[in-house]
């Protein structure tokens, strides 16, 4: 029993770190607009269609079901829905458009 307790601490620490990283990957787009966000697991995102059709490099952070994208044009808040889509703060929905892994 003592061995189980000693192994439980490091295991919980690893699981907590994995849950906190919550990296995203893949491309998400809105059907009725030009908004597109490509996430890389490194913490970088590429946003197209906010204010212009240029693609701008940004960074993102995942906090539970919230994803905050920060870039040159400000920040964009997304909420991860149970079906895997992303709700955009101003009222749109982004759907994954590629087969890459995401979360």
- What pLDDT, on the 0 to 100 scale, is given for residue 44? 96
What's the mean pLDDT in 87-100? 85
Q: What are 75-93's pLDDT values in tens digits?
A: 899 999 999 999 998 888 9
What confidence tens digit (pLDDT) does each residue in 34-89 have?
889 999 999 999 999 866 778 999 999 999 999 999 988 788 999 999 999 999 98
Cα distances from 68 to residues 4, 29, 80, 86, in angstroms, run: 38, 16, 11, 11
pTM greater than 0.85: no
SS3 per residue for 36-79? EEEECCCCEEEEECCCCCCEEEEEEEEECCEEEEEECCEEEEEE
- Domain spanning 24-96: CATH 3.30.450.40: no
Q: In the chain, what's the furthest Cα-to-Cα distance?
A: 61
In the chain, how many H helices and how many E strands?
A: 1, 8
């Amino acid at each position: 029993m003592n061995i189980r307790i000693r192994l439980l601490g490091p295991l919980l620490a690893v699981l907590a770190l994995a849950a906190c990283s919550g990296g995203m990957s893949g491309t998400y787009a809105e059907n009725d607009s030009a908004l597109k966000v490509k996430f890389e697991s490194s913490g970088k995102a590429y946003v197209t269609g906010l204010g212009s059709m240029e693609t701008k490099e940004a960074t993102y952070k995942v906090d539970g079901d919230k994803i905050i994208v920060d870039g040159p044009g400000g920040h964009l808040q997304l909420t991860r829905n149970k079906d895997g889509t992303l709700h955009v703060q101003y009222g749109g929905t982004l759907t994954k458009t590629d087969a890459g892994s995401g979360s």
